[in-house]
Structure 1
Amino acid sequence: MAVQLDPQLLEILRCPSPDHAPLRPGTPDDADADMLTCTECGRGYPVQDGIPVLLLDEAVPPPGGLAG
Structure 2
Amino acid sequence: MKLEPFLLEILVCPQCRAPLNEADYDGHPELVCTAADCGLAYPVRDGIPVLLVDEARRPV
TM-superposition CA deviations, 1:2-53 (whole Å, max 9, x none): x311100011000000x200000005xx5x7400000011110000010000
Q: How many matched pairs?
A: 57
> TM-score scaled by structure 2?
0.86
Of 42, 46, 64, the residue aligned with 2:43 is 46
Gaps of 5+ in 1: 64-68
Aligned residues: percent identity? 54
What aligned pairs does 1:28-43 form with structure 2 within 5 A after superposition? 33-40=28-35, 41-43=38-40
SS of match in other structure, 1:34: strand
Gaps of 5+ in 2: none
Letter in 1 for 2:7: L
What aligned pairs does 1:1-68 form with structure 2 within 5 A after superposition? 3-17=1-15, 19-26=16-23, 33-40=28-35, 41-63=38-60
Distance between the aligned counterparts of 2:9 and 2:20, measured in 1? 8
Distance between the aligned counterparts of 1:60 and 1:34, measured in 2? 12
**Structure 1 vs Structure 2 CA RMSD:** 1.4
SS of match in other structure, 1:24: strand
